[in-house]
Structures are given as C-alpha cells and as structure tokens.
Structure 1
Amino acid sequence: MVKNYFTIAFRNIFRNKLFSTVNILGLALGICSTLLILLWVNDELKVDQFHRDVERLYIVRENQTYTDGKLFTFNSTPAPMAPFIKEKYSEIERTSRFTWPVTHLMQFEEKAFYEEGFYVDQDFVEMFSFELKAGNVKTALVNKNSIVISEKMAKKYFGDDNPLGKIIVMDTKNTFAVTGVLKPIPTNSSIRFEYLLPFQFFFDENKSWLDEWGNNNVRTFLQLRAGADVEGFSKRFKDEIRAHEEKTNVELLIQPFKDGYLHGDYENGVQSGGRIENVKIFFVLSIFVLIIACINFMNLATAQATKRAKEVGLRKAIGASPSQLFRQFMGESFLTVLLASIIALVMAFVLMPMFNQITSKDIALDFSNEYVILTFVGIVFITAFIAGSYPAIFISEFKPAQVLKGQLKSGSRAATFRKALVVVQFSLSIILIISTTVVFRQMSFMNNHEIGFDRNNLFTLWMEGDMPKKFETFRARLLQMPGIESVTASSQSPIQVGNSTYGLDWEGKSPDDRILFSNMNVDFDFIQTMKMEMAEGRPFDRNQITDSSNYIVNEKAAAKFGFKDGVAGKDLTMWEEKGKIIGVVKDFNFGSLHSEIEPIIMRIDPSWMNCLIVRARDGQNEAAIASVEKIWKEYAPAYPYRYTFMNQDWEKFYKDEGQRGQLFNALAILSIFISCLGLFGLSAFSAERRTKELGIRKALGASVPGLVRLMGKEFAVLVMIAACIGCPAGWYFMSYWLGTYAYRVDIGIATLLFATSICLLISMITISYHSLKVASSDPVKSLRYE
C-alpha cells in the first residue's frame, strides 16, 4: 500500500511538471530563508550565554535625573566604586572595572601594529569565561605591568615561540610582560579584544580625574555570590553614589549581563528594548516568507484537485476511508516538501557565506549541531503540515457518486479559499515592500542628512607620541602642504562626542538646577574648518588671548540658559573655570540620528586635543592624505599612518541598520518572487479551465487585449483587497520602527501606492503570459478542448 502511494506520488510530481516545479521551488526558497533567519535568531539569543557563571554576572548602570525633566540611563560609573563595593557588600564575590575600547601601538622587536583592547581588573579574567591557553588565570593581571594577549596576537608577534614572559612595548615607552594567552574568543561574545591590561596601570596614569566619585568614566561588572538576594542587594545598592556625593542625582541599578546585548535600551529609567526588537522582527518576517510559500502549495494543490477526482472516487468506491485518503495526500505533500527541503539545504550552503557577510556573523550549517538538526527537521514537518493539511482534507471529502457521474465541480468554497490565500499572500508581500522602501529611504536620509557641518573632504587622525604638544607647529606646516584647505583638532571626533557634565554655572541659574550638557575641547579654527554656521557672536580667534578661557555653545545650550537678551557676552563657569560665551553655533549633530541634538559646550584646552581634523581642497583628497603622511612621519615615525574619512565614520553609525536593510530587501524580493510563482501556476490553471470560454468569446468577436484584461481582472481585484489590508499594517509597523529615530522620513501615501503598484504590476505581468497564450490560440482548437 505504502509503495503504491509513493509510486502514485512520484507519477503525479512528474506528470504535472509545471505545478510541481512551482511548488518545489517556492517551498525551497521559503524553507531556505526561514532556516537562515532562524539560525541567525538563535545566534543572537546565545550571545554572551557561554560564560559559566552568566546567571551571577551583572552590569552596573546609572539613572541620572535632571531638573529639566530628563532621565538618562548610562553604563558609565565612577572608577573608585568597584573595589569599594566589593569590600562593602557581602553579596558581591568579584568586581571589575572595564574601560571603553582603547587602541595602542604594540611593538615587539621590529614588529609593530595597532591593537584594540581594554583595561580591566584581575577579577575580570576570573568572572568571565575567556579561557587561557597559557598562563594562570588567578594571577594573570595582578602585576600592573602584565598583559594578556589573544592567540592571534601571540602568533603575529612571536610566531611559534612561547610568548609567556616576552616583553611588549606599548606606545614606544611602556613595557608589559606577557602573562597569559587567550584561547579564541567565542564568536557569540559581545566583548571582543586582542589584549587585556591591568586597570591599576590606567588608574595610576590618570589618577587626577579617575579618583573621583562624581566622575563617570568606566563600566563596572559584578559577580554576585551563589544564592545572593539580588532584589535586596539592588535596593541597598541603588543609593551608593549618594553616600559619597551628597548632592548627586544618580541612582544605581544592576542589569543581568546576559540581557545586556539584546536588552540594552532604557527609557525613563526602565528597560525598553534593544536588539531584541530586531530579533523579533526578523523571526516574524521569516515566518511570513514560509507562509507565502505554503500558500502557493495549498492554492495549487486545491486547484489541481479536480484532476484527481476520479482516482479518489474509485478508491472510496472500493472501500478507502477518508482517513486513508488524508494520509495518502499528506504523504504526497510531505514528499514534495522533502524534495524542496533537499534543494533548500543546497541553497543554504551556497548562500551561507553571503548571509554571514551581510549579518557580520560566523554561522555554520553544521549538522553535528543539535539545534541545526532540530530547526531543519522542525521546519520540514511544520511546512508539510501547514501546506498539505487543507488540500488533503479537501480532496478526501470528495463524494464518490458525484465524481463517478462526472458531476464534480470545483465549487465556490474552494475558489473562495484560494482567493483568500492569494489575498493573504499579497498582503504579506505588500507589508514587506513597504518595510523595505521605508528602511531604504531612512538609510538614504541618514547618510545624506544635513547635520550642521560639511562632512565632505574631511578626514581624521588620532595624534600620537608628542604630536599634541607640538600641534601648533604641526598645524602650521600642514597648512603649507599641497591639497590641504584647513586643519584643526578636538578632544573627540565631532560625530562621537561622549563627554557630558552638569558642573556649569551662569547668571540666574538656580542652585538646585541640574541640566546635562555635552562638552568637548576644540582648537581655535574648529568652527571654520568644520564649516559650521554661527547663530550669534563669533568663532574662537587665536589672536584673542582671552579666548583660551572662553566658551562657544550651541543653540540648544543657549536655550537652557534662559537669557532673554542674547547669550554672547554672558559669563559662564564650567568646573570652576570662569569665562565668557563669545558665540552660539547653530545646532549640529554630534551623535547618531537616533537621538535629538543635546546642549553642548566647547572650549579651548590643548592638553585634551588628540583628534586631528583635516579638510582637503575639493578634488584633492589624495594630495592632502599624502601631505599629512609626509609630515606625520617626521613627528611620529614609530606609529603607522592611518586615517578615516568623516563620511565613512558617519556611515559606521548605521552599519546595523544597513545590514537589516539588506535582509529586508532580500526577504521582500523573495516574498514577491514566491508569490509570483504561485500566481504563475494559478493563472496557468485558470487559463486552462477557461479555454473553451475564451474560445467562444473570441469566436463572438472578443479581442486578445480584452480577453487578457478579463483574465487579469480577477487577480487585480485580489491584489487591491490585499493592499487594503497590507498598507495599513505596513504603515503601522514602520511608524513604530521610525519612532526609534529622532530624525526620520515620513512614510507618506506615495510609499503605500508604490508597494501596491509593484505587486499589481508584477502580478499582471505574471498572469499575462498564460492569458496571452490561451487568448491568442485558434478558437477552433479552443472549442474542441476536452
């Protein structure tokens, strides 16, 4: 019996080549895309979960409340806090401070490379499961002149020699002995580095500003003891800063480290999302694509059902029960899905490198991995059940008497169901097209948005060695070189300002007011080089001696002061350093477009200026780069020359969004293609069933274009109904997504019309092939049809 079922199944697959090809290809594409996305989702969910004590690891965050009604959540904390709270709270087993990524020039003999790493406490290597290939985890960073390096770094500098005890020189002056070599860091770690240095070294070098409870500049990790009362500890811990800073506006909170990667966004002091939103979105989108593929199968299977009516009637007449017929046709569905799954696997293997490149992942289709096997098998069985259940039920319910008398008709119920499925299919496609269009427009908007200064022809370099001390001479020489229009410097990249303070005072300010201002140190020519515009007053002038103690603020900052008669000329004190506001620069974006422009204060302080900013003349970028390199080698010969263009740095802000945009595009194109495969099959079936009708109409004088319009009208109506469902849904979803940006595009009616038009146009082109074929045939042959 089973053999007979399989024989019939294979015969039907090969007998109906067109429909079988459409079914198998559609299902293969749906299964392939779903498999890839689910592997990506799993990889995202497993980030940072490999640490052995991950359930006891926490990140310390600060809720900072200001009198202008704003509440910010930061993960920057005071440097003295970690060792202090380790001694104070019995619930804490280990603590570690953790700097922002730092890049240093590392040298061993003739080999010198820039490497990125962190300063951490000794507890860090014991808290986290970054395993050592060589060295003792208990003592690796006890000595402040020790260094733990990656296996890759060890190979680069020492080859096959034992690296332990070898001396690495940092920034041409500080020496560190290698005390540990790390095994490769798992690919699903959010913390990646080439080296770890003792925090004590960093602290001693910067003690003047690190050793303050009111200065937030490092991250703090905790490992609580097993069985610790987390809730009770949190309540006692939240006011720890207040014990050291009486007038503080800070309340501490702890977040499980395992949640930090996916749940990193906070709003009004409460966790409000993060990368988890993207995981949810792409999980839903992958299901959308699979459903579209299943709909194709269901539509074509029910449409083809009448061709097998006599077979079903005969089986029932000789005693086959509906359940036996159901199992038979479900088996055929499973066989089709199985063939599609084999093709899907081949596609997945071929597309995996490209998929990893788009998502910046290192996912492997490894069938020794239990999750990969379960995911693939689960997709196959779920797809087979969804795609095959309705057609199997529909066919197994045929009445044998009607079938054998030739009285079976497809019936309005089956036709209505097929139309409903087409509507669902195109509704999902329209949602994806709207999403893709909005994502593309937002990405384009962010890359081309006027941010308050001219990013073109600007490139930046981080000054090394003694260059900051000799900046004036360095700058003067650069201005005489070919291709260079202007040169300036700042303490941070102008598009990545991270410093902020509420330590300001001005006339009329209430002593109780706490308002957060970003701040950066700049050179005298900063405003002019960046081509910013002044709203009031003037830029800094190196010929004005007093400007070294004066300030420039942006419009947002000026509004915070509350002066009614202008800001220029007013006194301002920051960190007890008094000066005058000499100008107000028009607001400019010094961070991602996800956030609104904040108040910022700029002042002159050469000791903090490390970022060199060069503006090249139009069309002379290469000449300017070569000019800077020539002078660079005179001032910092031991340091490799490297630079980045401001536009490239700006685009890096939106790398993740760009990746999501590419995935959106791929899924949208895939969904439309699969939908059109289904329409191609359905239109072929429809044209075949209406061959005699079209022959009669043509014999009575109907034109070919008229017959094509008649065939297309039915499907055009379905697409328009789909638009009535998909457009509002797509608008709602993308409005929610755009809400994460302070500066964004409007969705607009044009986007909805575009999505509908694309679906309508592609569906009509798809349908026209079969319509033209039948409508153009000789009516004599059409009237003889069956």
Structure 2
Amino acid sequence: MLRNYLVVAFRNIFRNKLFSTLNILGLAFGICSALLIFLWVNDELQYNKFHTNIDRLYRVMENQRYSDGRLYTFAATPGPMAPYIKEKFPEIELATRFTWSVNHLFQNGDKGFYEPGHFADQDFIEMFTFPLLQGDQKTALKEKNSIVISRKMAEKYFGSEDAMGKMLTMDTKDVFTVTGVLQDIPKSSSIQFEYLLPFQYFFDQNKNWLEQWDNNNIRTFLLLRENTDVTAFNKKLEDEIKNHAESTNVKLFTQAFGDSYLYGDFENGQQSGGRIEYVRIFFVVAVFVLIIACINFMNLATAQATKRAREVGLRKVIGAVPRQLFKQFMGESFVTVGIAALIAVVATLLLIPVFNEITGKALGLNLLDARILVTFIAIVAFTAFVAGSYPAFFISEFKPVQVLKGQLKSGSRAAAFRKGLVVLQFSLSIILIISTAVVFRQMSYMQNRDIGFDRENMFYVWMESDISRNFETFHNRLADAEGIESVTASGQLPIGIGNSTSGFNWEGKNKDERILFTILNVDYDFIQSMKMEMVDGRAFDRKLATDTINYIVNEKAAEKFGFKNGVVGQDLAYGENKGKIIGIVKDFNFGSLHNPIEPLIMYIQPRNFECLLVRTKVGETENALHSVEKLHKEYAPGYPFRYTFLNQDWENFYKAESQRGKVFNTLAVLSIFISCLGLFGLSAFSAERRTKELGIRKVLGASVPGLVQLMNREFATLVIISAGIGCPAGWYLMTKWLEGYAYHVDVGMITLLVAAAICLLIAVVTVSYHSLRVAMTDPVKSLRYE
C-alpha cells in the first residue's frame, strides 16, 4: 500500500510539472528562509548559556529616581561595592568588579597592537566559564602585574612559543607577566575580550574616584550560593548605598546574567524589552513567510482537486474510507515538502555566508547538532501538516457517485476558501511591504538626520603619551597644518557621552532636588569646530581666563534651572568649581535616537582631554591625515597612528539595527516572491479552467482587453480586500515599533497606498500574462478545448 501511495505521489508530481514546480519552489523558499531565521533566533537565545553557573550569575543594577519623576536604570555601580558586599552578605559566594571594554597598546619586541580587554577581580575567572588552557584559575589575576590573555593573543605575540611567564608591555611603560592563557572566547558570549588585567591595578590608578560610593563607574557581577532566594536578597541589597553615601537616590537590585543580553532595556525601573523584541519579530515574520508558502500549496492543491476526483471515486468504490484517503494525500504532501526541504537545505548552505555577512553572525547549518536537527524536522513537519491538511481533507470527502457520474462541481465552498487564502496571503505580504518601507525609511532617517552638528569631514584620534600633556602646543601646531580646517578636543566622543551627575547647584535650587545632567569636558573651540549653533550667549574663548570655570548648557538643561531672568549670566557650581553660564547651545544628539536629548552641561578641563577631533578642509582629507600622523609620531612615538571618522562611528552606532533591517527587508521581498508564485499558479489554473468560456465570449464579440479585464477583476478584488486588512494592521504594528525611537519617521498614508499598489500591480501583471495567452488563442481551438 505504501509503495502504491509513493508511486502515485511521484506520478502526480511529474504529471503536473508546472504546478509541482511552483509548489516545491514556494515551499523550498519558505523553509529556507524559516531555517535561516530560526538559526539566527537560536543563536540569540543561546547567548551566555555556556556558563556552567549561569543560573546563579547576576549583575547588580541601579534604579535612580530624580526630582522630575523619572526613574533611570543603570548597570554602573560604585568601585568599592563588590568586595564589601561579598563579605557582608552570606548569599554571595563570589563577586567581581568589571570595567567597560578598554583598548590598550601591547608590545613584545617589534610587535605592537591595540587589544580590547577588561580589568577584573580574581573571582571573575572562577565565576564565569572562560576556561584556561594554561594557568591556575584560582590565582591567575592575584598579582597586580599579571595578565591573562586569549589563545589568539598568545599566538599573535609569541607564535608557537609557550606564552606563560612571558612579558608584555602596556602603553609603552607598564610591564605585565602572562599568568594564564584562555581558550577562545565563544562567539555566543556577550562579554568579548582578548585579555584580563587585575582590577587592583586599575583601582590604584583611579583611586580618587573609584573609592567613592556615590560615583557609579564600573560593573559588578555576583555568583549567588545555591538555593538563594533572590527576591529576599534583593530586599536586603536594595538600600546598601544609603549606608555609605550621605544622600542617595539609588536603589540596588540584581538581574540574572542569563537575561541581560536579551532583556537589556528598562523603563521606570522595570524590564521593558531589548533584543528579545527582535527575536520575537523575526520569529513571527519567519512563520508568516512559511504560512505564505503553505497557502500556495493549499490553493493549488484544492484548485486541482477535480483532476484527482475519478481516482478518489474508484478508491472509495473498492473500499477506501476517508481516513485512508486523508493519510494518502497527507503522505503526498509530506513527499512534496520533503523534496522542497532537500532543496531548502542546499539553498541554506549556499546562502549562509551571505546571511552571516548581513547579520554579522557566524552561523552554520550542522544537522548533526540535535537542536538544529529538531528545529529542521519541526519546520518540515509543521509545513507538511499545515500545507497538506485541508487539501487532504477536502479531496478525501468527494462523493464517489457524483464523481463517477461526472457530476462533481468544484463547489462554491472550496472556491471561497481559496479566495480567503489569497486574501490572507496578500494581507501578510502587504504588512511586510509596509514594515519594509518603514524600517528602510527609519534606518535612512537615523543615518542622515541633522543631529545638531556636522559629522562630515571630521575624524578623531585618541590622545596618547605626551599629546595630552602638551595639548596646547600640539593644538597650535596642528591648527596651521596642511589640509586642516580646525582642531578641538573633548573628554569623550560627542556621539557617545556616558558621564552624568546630579551634583550641580545654582541659586534657587531646592536642596532636596535631584536633576541628572550629562556632562562633557570640551576645548575652547569645540562649539565652532563641531559647527554647533548657539541659541544665546557665546562660546568659550581662549582669551578669557575665566572661561576655565564657566559653563555652556544645551536647551534641555536651560529648561531645568527655572531662572526667571534668563539663563545666560547665572551662577552655576559643580563641587568646588563655581562659574557662570555663558551660553546656550542648540540641542544636539549625543546618544541613541531611541532616547530623547538629555540636559547637557559643557565645561573646560584640559588635563582630562582624551579625544582629539580634527575637521578637514573639503577634498583634503589625505593631507590632513598626513599632517596629524606626522605630528603624532613626534609626540607619541611608541604608539601606532590610528584614527576613525566620526560619520563612520555614527553609522556603526546603528549597525546592528541596520543589519536587522536588511534581514527584514529580504524576508519581505521573499514573501512577495512566494506570493507571486502562488498567484502565477492560480491564475494559470483559472485561465485553463475558463478556456472554453473565453472562446465563446470572443466569438460573441468580446475584445482581448475586455477578456483580460474580466480575468483580472476577480484577483484585483481579492487584493483590494487584502489591502483593507493589511494596511490598518501594518500601520498599527509599525506605529508601535516606531514608539521605541524618540526621533522617528511617520508611517504615513503614502506608505500604505504604495504597499497596496505594489501588490495590486503584481497581481494584475501576473494574472494578465495568463489571461492574454488564453484570450489571444484562436476561438476555434478554445471551443475544441476539453
């Protein structure tokens, strides 16, 4: 029996080559896209899961409430906290301080490179599963001059030699001894680094601010003991800062480290999403594409049911029951999907390199991996069941008497079901087209938005060695160099400012009032060099010595002071620094467009400049780079010259979102293509079924355009109905998505109309091809048809 079913299945596939090809191609594209997305989703879900103690690892977070009612959540914590709370709370087994990623120059002989890494306490290696190939896990970071490096870094500096005990020079002066070599850091780790240095070294270098409990600057990770009640522990930890700072607005809590990668966003002190939102969106879109492919199969299978009617009638006459026939046709569905799945696997293997380039991943299709194999089987089974269930049920219910008498009608119910599937298919396609257009426009908007200063023709260099100590001389020499329009400096990059404080005071301020201000240390000509706009007052002036204690604020900050007689000229104090507000700069974006512009205060503190910003003359970038490099070698001879264009950094700021946008757009195009395959097959079947009718109409005087219009009317109506469903749904979904950006485009009526018009045009063109072919056939041949 099984052999007979398989023979019949393959015979029908080869007998109806056009429809079989359309079915298999549509299913293959659907399975391929779903497989790629599920590989991406699986990779995202597996981040950090390799840590042995992942269920007991936590990071300490801060909720900070301010006078305007806003509650900010930060992952930054005080420097002295980790060792203190480790001793105080028995629930903590291990605790480590961990800096944000830093780039230092390392040298061994004539080899020198900048490497990314972190400073961490000894407990870090014991808490997290980053195994050592060499070295003692319990002592590798005990000594201040020790360094643990990756295997990649060991091979880079020492080749095939044993790296243990070897010396590396950091920043041309400090020497560290290699006390451990790590295995390669898994790509599924949210913490990536090439080296670890003892936190004690970092603490001694920055003791003046790391000792303060009201200064939040590093991360704290905890390994809690087994069976710890985390909720109860959070209650004990919550007010710990109050025991060390006279006045604080901080509440502490812990977040599971396993959740930190996907659930990184907080709003009003509560977890509000993060990367998990994109995981969910891509999962849903992949299911959409798969359903669109299944709809093709269902439509074409039910449309061709009449060709299998006599076979079904004969099988029923000789004793077949509906259950057996259902199994037969479901089996044929599985055969078709199986062929499509094999093609999909080949396509996936071919497309994975391109997909990895788009997403920045390193995915692979290893069907020996149990998780991937189960996912693949689930996709195939889901597709086969969804695609084949209704056609199998529909065909197995044919009445043998009607079939054998030739009285079988396709039925209005089946036709209505097919039309409903077409409407669903194109509704999903319209939603994806709207989504694609909005994502593309938002990405373009973020890349090209006027953010309040000119990013073009500007690059930056980190101020190393003697550059910072001799900044004024360096600045003056560089300002007159070839190719350079202007030179300035700052404590941080103007598109990634991370420092903030509530420590400012002014006349009339309530002593209990807390307002968070972002702060930026800048050079005198920072405003002019960045081509920012002053709203009121003036910029800093090198000729005025008093400007070293004065301030410039942005419009958002000016609103916070509450001065009745204007802001410019008012006194403002930050600790011991008491000066005046000399100007208001127009608001500019110094962070993500997801968030609104925050209050900003700029001041001058040359000894803490870290970033040299150079604006080049138009068309003279090479000359400017040469001028800076020449002077850089003079003031920082041991350091390789490295530079980055500000515009490039801004693009990298949204690189991950741009990658996700490209994936989304690709899926949308693919869904439209699959829909076209289905529509192509349906319109071919419809034209074939109405061949005699069109021949009669032509004999009676109908024109070819009239016949084409007649054929198009049915499908055009379905697309218009789809637009009525898809446009409102697409508008709602993308409006909700755009709410995640403080600055964004609008969905707009034009986007909805264009999406509907695209689908309508595709339908008309596809159907017209078959309509023209049949309508232009000689009526004599049409009337002989069948």
- 2:26 corresponds to which residue? 26
Alignment of 1:248-647 (within 5 A): 248-647=248-647
Is the partner of 2:176 in helix, strand or coil?
Answer: strand
Is the partner of 2:96 in helix, strand or coil?
Answer: strand
Is the partner of 2:467 in helix, strand or coil?
Answer: coil
Following the alignment from structure 1 to structure 2, what is the Cα–Cα distance between the partners of residues 55 and 455? 44
Alignment of 1:200-215 (within 5 A): 200-215=200-215
- 2:749 corresponds to which residue? 749
CA offset digits 1:379-434 (Å, max 9, x no partner) = 11111111111101111111111111111110100000000000000011111111
Shift of 1:767: 1.1
Following the alignment from structure 1 to structure 2, what is the Cα–Cα distance between the partners of residues 339 and 13? 11
Following the alignment from structure 1 to structure 2, what is the Cα–Cα distance between the partners of residues 214 and 278? 35
- 2:715 corresponds to which residue? 715
Alignment of 1:231-246 (within 5 A): 231-246=231-246
- 2:61 corresponds to which residue? 61
- 1:726 corresponds to which residue? 726
Following the alignment from structure 2 to structure 1, what is the Cα–Cα distance between the partners of residues 371 and 343? 20
Alignment of 1:621-700 (within 5 A): 621-700=621-700
Shift of 1:247: 1.1
- 1:160 corresponds to which residue? 160
Question: Could you tell me which amino acid in structure 2 is paired with residue 520 of structure 1?
Answer: L
Is the partner of 2:61 in helix, strand or coil?
Answer: strand
Question: Could you tell me which amino acid in structure 2 is paired with residue 598 of structure 1?
Answer: E
Shift of 1:246: 2.7
Is the partner of 1:481 in helix, strand or coil?
Answer: coil
Following the alignment from structure 1 to structure 2, what is the Cα–Cα distance between the partners of residues 576 and 504? 10
Shift of 1:576: 2.5
Shift of 1:692: 0.7
Following the alignment from structure 2 to structure 1, what is the Cα–Cα distance between the partners of residues 737 and 498? 25
Following the alignment from structure 1 to structure 2, what is the Cα–Cα distance between the partners of residues 760 and 644? 47
Following the alignment from structure 1 to structure 2, what is the Cα–Cα distance between the partners of residues 423 and 640? 61
Following the alignment from structure 1 to structure 2, what is the Cα–Cα distance between the partners of residues 589 and 259? 29
Question: Could you tell me which amino acid in structure 2 is paired with residue 405 of structure 1?
Answer: K
Question: Could you tell me which amino acid in structure 1 is paired with residue 691 of structure 2?
Answer: T
Shift of 1:743: 0.3
Is the partner of 1:468 in helix, strand or coil?
Answer: helix
**Alignment of 1:226 onto 2:226:** yes
Is the partner of 1:401 in helix, strand or coil?
Answer: helix
Following the alignment from structure 2 to structure 1, what is the Cα–Cα distance between the partners of residues 398 and 46? 49
Is the partner of 1:362 in helix, strand or coil?
Answer: coil
Farther-moved stretch of structure 1 (635-644 vs 519-528): 635-644
Following the alignment from structure 1 to structure 2, what is the Cα–Cα distance between the partners of residues 375 and 208? 54
Question: Could you tell me which amino acid in structure 2 is paired with residue 111 of structure 1?
Answer: K
Following the alignment from structure 1 to structure 2, what is the Cα–Cα distance between the partners of residues 642 and 428? 48
**Alignment of 1:97 onto 2:97:** yes
Shift of 1:502: 0.4
Following the alignment from structure 1 to structure 2, what is the Cα–Cα distance between the partners of residues 766 and 643? 53
Following the alignment from structure 2 to structure 1, what is the Cα–Cα distance between the partners of residues 47 and 382? 27
Any unmatched runs of 5+ in structure 2?
none
* Root-mean-square deviation (Å): 0.8
Structure 1 moving runs of 4+ over 4 Å? none
Farther-moved stretch of structure 1 (97-106 vs 353-362): 353-362
Shift of 1:564: 2.1
Is the partner of 1:509 in helix, strand or coil?
Answer: coil
Following the alignment from structure 1 to structure 2, what is the Cα–Cα distance between the partners of residues 462 and 704? 72
- 1:763 corresponds to which residue? 763
**Alignment of 1:50 onto 2:50:** yes
Question: Could you tell me which amino acid in structure 2 is paired with residue 331 of structure 1?
Answer: G
Equivalent pairs counted in the alignment come to: 786
Following the alignment from structure 1 to structure 2, what is the Cα–Cα distance between the partners of residues 48 and 499? 28
Shift of 1:725: 0.9
**Alignment of 1:130 onto 2:96:** no
- 2:198 corresponds to which residue? 198
Percent pairwise identity = 68
Following the alignment from structure 1 to structure 2, what is the Cα–Cα distance between the partners of residues 607 and 711? 78
Is the partner of 1:467 in helix, strand or coil?
Answer: helix
Following the alignment from structure 1 to structure 2, what is the Cα–Cα distance between the partners of residues 149 and 95? 21
Farther-moved stretch of structure 1 (316-325 vs 128-137): 316-325
Following the alignment from structure 2 to structure 1, what is the Cα–Cα distance between the partners of residues 240 and 30? 53
Shift of 1:232: 1.4
CA offset digits 1:429-461 (Å, max 9, x no partner) = 111111110000001111111111111111111
Is the partner of 2:292 in helix, strand or coil?
Answer: helix
Is the partner of 1:713 in helix, strand or coil?
Answer: helix
Shift of 1:159: 0.2
Is the partner of 1:510 in helix, strand or coil?
Answer: coil
Shift of 1:475: 1.1
Shift of 1:763: 1.4
- 2:777 corresponds to which residue? 777
TM-score relative to the length of structure 1? 0.99
Following the alignment from structure 1 to structure 2, what is the Cα–Cα distance between the partners of residues 306 and 684? 15
Following the alignment from structure 1 to structure 2, what is the Cα–Cα distance between the partners of residues 142 and 205? 17
Following the alignment from structure 1 to structure 2, what is the Cα–Cα distance between the partners of residues 226 and 654? 39
Question: Could you tell me which amino acid in structure 2 is paired with residue 109 of structure 1?
Answer: G
Following the alignment from structure 1 to structure 2, what is the Cα–Cα distance between the partners of residues 152 and 249? 44
Following the alignment from structure 1 to structure 2, what is the Cα–Cα distance between the partners of residues 235 and 536? 48
Question: Could you tell me which amino acid in structure 2 is paired with residue 656 of structure 1?
Answer: A
CA offset digits 1:295-331 (Å, max 9, x no partner) = 0000000000001111111111121111111111111
Following the alignment from structure 2 to structure 1, what is the Cα–Cα distance between the partners of residues 767 and 620? 54
Any unmatched runs of 5+ in structure 1?
none
Is the partner of 2:407 in helix, strand or coil?
Answer: coil
Following the alignment from structure 2 to structure 1, what is the Cα–Cα distance between the partners of residues 626 and 712? 63
Following the alignment from structure 2 to structure 1, what is the Cα–Cα distance between the partners of residues 81 and 135? 28
Following the alignment from structure 1 to structure 2, what is the Cα–Cα distance between the partners of residues 480 and 241? 51
Following the alignment from structure 1 to structure 2, what is the Cα–Cα distance between the partners of residues 633 and 701? 88
Following the alignment from structure 2 to structure 1, what is the Cα–Cα distance between the partners of residues 336 and 466? 71
Following the alignment from structure 1 to structure 2, what is the Cα–Cα distance between the partners of residues 582 and 320? 93
Following the alignment from structure 2 to structure 1, what is the Cα–Cα distance between the partners of residues 710 and 227? 73
Question: Could you tell me which amino acid in structure 1 is paired with residue 464 of structure 2?
Answer: E
Shift of 1:703: 1.3
Following the alignment from structure 2 to structure 1, what is the Cα–Cα distance between the partners of residues 563 and 651? 37
Is the partner of 2:181 in helix, strand or coil?
Answer: strand
Farther-moved stretch of structure 1 (19-28 vs 320-329): 320-329
Following the alignment from structure 1 to structure 2, what is the Cα–Cα distance between the partners of residues 654 and 575? 36
Question: Could you tell me which amino acid in structure 1 is paired with residue 479 of structure 2?
Answer: L
Question: Could you tell me which amino acid in structure 2 is paired with residue 181 of structure 1?
Answer: V
Farther-moved stretch of structure 1 (128-137 vs 5-14): 5-14
Following the alignment from structure 1 to structure 2, what is the Cα–Cα distance between the partners of residues 610 and 490? 6
Question: Could you tell me which amino acid in structure 2 is paired with residue 561 of structure 1?
Answer: F
Shift of 1:229: 2.3
Shift of 1:733: 1.0
**Alignment of 1:16 onto 2:19:** no
Farther-moved stretch of structure 1 (378-387 vs 194-203): 378-387
Shift of 1:491: 0.1
Question: Could you tell me which amino acid in structure 1 is paired with residue 189 of structure 2?
Answer: S
CA offset digits 1:324-356 (Å, max 9, x no partner) = 111111111110000000000000100111111
Shift of 1:652: 1.2
Question: Could you tell me which amino acid in structure 1 is paired with residue 63 of structure 2?
Answer: N
Is the partner of 1:540 in helix, strand or coil?
Answer: coil
Is the partner of 1:107 in helix, strand or coil?
Answer: strand
Question: Could you tell me which amino acid in structure 1 is paired with residue 178 of structure 2?
Answer: V
- 1:38 corresponds to which residue? 38
